[in-house]
Amino acid sequence: MTRFLGVFYGDFPERVADAYPEDETTTTVEEPLVGPIRSGRLPYESIRSLFSGYLVMASASPNVSQQISAYTNFFGNDLSDPNSVMMRVTQLEALARSKPKELGEAALSGMYFVFRFYLA
């Protein structure tokens, strides 16, 4: 299965119905979930550090977890299904608020681009 990495910067995800009020077919979810949360991968550390962020993962190999500096493991309740690890947005927000020292100030310097045009 393809691995995805969700990056939250700014506001936390809101209820689906609040995000798209014009879509009457949208199912209202009272407490949105984030997931499935899968195992950590080494490239995630580069992205995490780019944003001065924090990684939530469903464990990682010992070699990988030793090279990731700010993370927490979050586990599901169905060990036979690796896609069962889901996290409530309120849990994600509480985790972020409890880790301000690890998170530090937002750092988006890696997202700054300078374009230079040269006319001949």
Does 9 fall in a domain?
Answer: no
Does 79 fall in a domain?
Answer: yes
The stretch 63-81 carries a mean pLDDT of: 82
Chain-centroid distance of CA 30 in Å reads 20
Residue numbers of the domain that contains 77? 16-111
% of the chain at pLDDT higher than 90: 1
Does 75 fall in a domain?
Answer: yes
Total domain count, the chain: 1
Does 119 fall in a domain?
Answer: no
Lowest mean pLDDT among 15-19, 41-45, 73-77, 102-106: 15-19
How are beta strands 33-34 and 87-88 bridged, if at all?
A: antiparallel
Over residues 26-71, the pLDDT tens digits come to 555 567 788 888 888 998 888 888 777 888 888 888 999 899 888 8
Residue tagged 């300078």 (tokens): 114
Short-list 9, 5, 12, CA closest to 91:
12
Does 97 fall in a domain?
Answer: yes
Does 27 fall in a domain?
Answer: yes
Residue-wise DSSP of 21-37: TT-TTPPP-SS-EE---
> Which pLDDT does position 17 carry in this prediction?
54
Instruction: Tell me, yes or no, if the pTM score tops 0.85.
Output: no
- In sequence order, what are the residues at sequence separation of 6 or more whose Cβ sits closer than 8 angstroms to the Cβ of residue 13? 19, 32, 34, 89
> Which pLDDT does position 4 carry in this prediction?
78
Does 73 fall in a domain?
Answer: yes
Does 120 fall in a domain?
Answer: no
